[in-house]
Amino acid sequence: MKILWIGLAYFLGSFPSGYLIFWLGEKKDIRGYGSRSTGATNVLRLKGWRWALPVAILDVLKAALPVWLALRSFPADRWVVFGVAFMVVLGHCFPIFIKFKGGKGVATAMGAFAVLATGPFLFSLAIFGAVVAATRYVSLGSLLAALSFPLIVFFWPGDEGLAILGLALFALIALRHASNIKRLAKGGERKLGQKASAEKA
């Protein structure tokens, strides 16, 4: 039963929200445009807030809901809950339904974090907002927010297990942001508000 929950979490995470919503609007594969990600940030640059907001909401909910259900179904086995959280983000990043090329995991990870530790999540969200407001780099804010969560939970409630999950998800998010990190280092990363063309990249 526990293995089934963790496996189902991967398939739920694989639901390609951004891919489907962009396809509905453009009849194109979003992975050929902008940053080639299926996430809300790429949808925002290509289609604007009206299209990006539902993507962000769906990507958060597809982690928050299964993690919440797992917490209530396995209250004595937190590692099952952590497995569900990790697998839903893995599914988002490498979705089986669209040839394992998906998003970058930030909104989905934040959905899991919000359920697992609301206080540290809010601190991480504040870090994201502050970094983006100061630099206008969504990728930098995302990376620092994802890194801050395991550090906060380790030192604040002292939850080592949750900190390990947070570090694992940060590693996954950093892997998916490898190209962004290179562009940040070279000063070529797009800033918030800069549009991307819906013409083939």
How far apart are alpha carbons 137 and 135 in whole angstroms? Answer: 5
The answer as to whether 199 is a domain residue is: no
The answer as to whether 36 is a domain residue is: yes
Answer whether 129's CB lies under 8 Å from 136's CB.
no
The answer as to whether 89 is a domain residue is: yes
Spell out the SS3 assignment of 104-131.
Answer: CCHHHHHHHHHHHCHHHHHHHHHHHHHH
Please give the pLDDT value at position 201: 44
The answer as to whether 193 is a domain residue is: no
61 Cβ partners below 8 Å, 6+ apart? 111
How many structural domains does the chain have? Answer: 1
Please give the pLDDT value at position 105: 97
The answer as to whether 81 is a domain residue is: yes
The residues of the chain scoring below 70 in pLDDT are 195-201
The answer as to whether 195 is a domain residue is: no
Q: What is the residue range of 143's domain?
A: 2-186
Please give the pLDDT value at position 28: 95
The answer as to whether 194 is a domain residue is: no
Q: The pTM is what? A: 0.93
Please give the pLDDT value at position 125: 97
The answer as to whether 90 is a domain residue is: yes
Please give the pLDDT value at position 112: 98
